[in-house]
């Protein structure tokens, strides 16, 4: 009886450690995404006013149609600026197009 109890207890402890490890990995990934978002936000905000205008975003994407569409999707309050809370890396281009040669 005691042996079963300890085996069950060991199983519960191992399960809790696995869950804790998975949660920590998720938090680390989220923190990395927040840092990446901030870094990209700062890079796009060329006039350093703490917000991204539609013109700044389109200049970054180098694609007027796609840039306008993505910008409007992120501009939740419709004020024609993106603040950090509205800006998401997942909605922005992964790699800007290179300038035409």
What's this model's pTM, rounded to 2 decimal places?
A: 0.54
Give me the residue label for tokens 């920590």: 24
pLDDT per residue as tens digits for the range 5-50 = 766 666 667 766 666 665 555 555 544 444 555 688 888 889 999 9
Say which CATH number the domain at 23 has. Answer: 1.10.238.10
In a domain, 24, yes or no: yes
| Contact status, residue 83 vs residue 51, Cβ threshold 8 Å | yes
In a domain, 101, yes or no: no
Tell me how far the alpha carbon of residue 15 is from its chain's centroid. Answer: 29
pLDDT per residue as tens digits for the range 38-91 = 688 888 889 999 999 999 999 988 999 999 999 999 999 999 999 988 987 654
In a domain, 100, yes or no: no
SS (H, E, C) 28-92: HHHHHHHHHHHHHHHHHCCCCCCCEEHHHHHHHHCCHHHHHHHHHHHCCCCCCEECCCCCCHHHC
Tell me how far the alpha carbon of residue 25 is from its chain's centroid. Answer: 15
- The count of structural domains within the chain is 1
The residue segments making up the domain with residue 24 are 2-91
In a domain, 68, yes or no: yes
């Amino acid at each position: 009886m005691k042996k079963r109890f300890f085996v069950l207890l060991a199983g519960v402890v191992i399960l809790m450690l696995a869950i804790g490890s998975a949660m920590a990995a998720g938090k680390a990934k989220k923190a990395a995404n927040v840092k990446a978002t901030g870094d990209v936000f700062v890079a796009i905000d060329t006039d350093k006013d703490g917000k991204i205008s539609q013109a700044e975003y389109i200049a970054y994407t180098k694609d007027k149609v796609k840039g306008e569409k993505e910008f409007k999707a992120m501009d939740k309050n419709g004020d024609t600026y993106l603040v950090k809370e509205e800006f998401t890396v997942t909605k922005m281009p992964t790699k800007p197009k290179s300038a035409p040669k």
